[in-house]
């Protein structure tokens, strides 16, 4: 005679193992399905990024080159494309100041660009934007003032340039070159060739003194070569001689 308790225990074990096997089969199915789904999502041929849509105002950014860089760095499908990587790539480009990147279903990548605005050349090899930040880009075709100064003085030099350029705006004598020394002494070269030595202190007041005196200086028989304004009152003037003009 077979015990009912033994039969019941065997049935329970059977149910348990059946459940375990079923669970394993379900998990295996999910894993296989997940792998196939992932592979499908990574397949560029099934869900390619067909359009890279650039917007914003820009003159110097080479859009064709930038799109080529993006597609080369992100060769996968729409799902596989890493927006953060694209963002870092775009903002690393010389003429890009800021960018935003997002996907748009089903096959579009939208990129909004804010281009750098160069306002001056800095120490020959860099450019300055309106915030006194440097960036490296080619601007040989741009007629920009040249600013020079020690490292870390970019904002100071640009602020001084803006203040002095505003003062000179009514005189038709724009600044061609500005130099800020290690001791923060200011020197200017105007586009008409006149050099101004303003020193370290009260450079705005000294520039105003030059502006007030220039109509009198311009009446002289010889053109002005330089003006030294490093005095509490008055100024020292150097004149172009005939030899200077011939050389």
Q: Please, what's the b/e burial string for 116-148 (b: 16 or more CB within 10 A of its CB; e: otherwise)?
A: bebbbbbeeebbbbeebeebeeebeeeeebebb
Q: Is the pLDDT assigned to residue 49 strictly greater than 60?
A: yes
Residue 216 phi/psi, 5-degree rounding, is: -70, -40
Q: What is the pLDDT of residues 55-103, one digit of tens each?
A: 999 999 999 999 999 999 988 888 889 999 999 999 999 999 999 999 9
- Residue 1 confidence class, pLDDT cut points 50, 70, 90: very low
The predicted pLDDT at position 89 comes to 97
Tokens of 29: 């199915």
Q: Which pLDDT score is estimated for 46?
A: 56
Residue whose C-alpha is closest to residue 225's, from 192, 199, 203:
192
Average pLDDT over residues 174-183: 97
Is domain 120-246 annotated with CATH 3.40.50.720? no
What is the pLDDT confidence band of residue 242, given thresholds at 50, 70 and 90? low
Rounded distance, CA 87 to CA 70, Å?
Answer: 10
The rounded mean pLDDT for the chain is: 87
The answer, yes or no, to whether residue 13 has pLDDT greater than 80, is: no
Closest CA to 81 of 47, 114, 35, 36: 47
Separation of alpha carbons 121 and 66, rounded Å: 25
51-115 and 120-246: identical CATH topology: no
**pTM, to two decimals:** 0.77
The pLDDT assigned to 77 comes to 85
Residues 106-165: tens digit of each pLDDT: 899 999 999 999 999 999 999 999 999 999 999 888 999 999 999 999 999 999 999 999
Domain range annotation of the chain: 51-115, 120-246
Res 76: pLDDT: 81
The fold of 51-115 is Ubiquitin-like (UB roll) (3.10.20)
pLDDT at 36 over 50: no
pLDDT band for position 32 (50/70/90)? low
Q: Grade residue 244 by pLDDT with cuts at 50, 70 and 90.
A: low
Confidence tier at 246 by pLDDT (50, 70, 90): very low
Q: Which residue has the higher pLDDT, 145 or 26?
A: 145
């Amino acid at each position: 005679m077979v015990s009912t308790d033994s039969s019941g225990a065997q049935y329970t074990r059977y149910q348990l193992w059946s459940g375990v096997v079923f669970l394993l089969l379900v998990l295996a199915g999910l894993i296989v399905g997940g792998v196939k789904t992932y592979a499908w999502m990574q397949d560029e041929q099934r869900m390619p990024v067909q359009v890279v849509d650039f917007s914003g105002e820009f003159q110097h950014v080479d859009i064709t080159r930038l799109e080529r860089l993006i597609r080369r760095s992100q060769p996968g499908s729409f799902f596989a494309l890493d927006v953060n990587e694209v963002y870092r790539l775009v903002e690393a480009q010389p003429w890009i100041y800021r960018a935003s990147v997002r996907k748009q279903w089903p096959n579009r990548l939208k990129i909004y660009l804010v281009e750098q605005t160069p306002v001056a050349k800095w120490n020959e090899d860099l450019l300055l934007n309106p915030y006194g930040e440097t960036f490296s880009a080619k601007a040989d075709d741009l007629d920009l003032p040249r600013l020079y100064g020690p490292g870390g003085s970019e904002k100071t030099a640009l602020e001084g340039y803006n203040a002095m350029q505003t003062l000179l705006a009514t005189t038709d004598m724009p600044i061609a070159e500005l130099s800020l020394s290690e001791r923060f002494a200011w020197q200017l070269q105007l586009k008409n060739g006149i050099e101004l030595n303003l020193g370290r202190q009260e450079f705005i007041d000294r520039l105003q003194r030059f502006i007030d005196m220039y109509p009198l200086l311009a009446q002289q028989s010889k053109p002005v070569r330089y003006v030294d304004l490093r005095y509490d009152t008055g100024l020292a003037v150097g004149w172009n001689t005939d030899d200077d003009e011939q050389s």
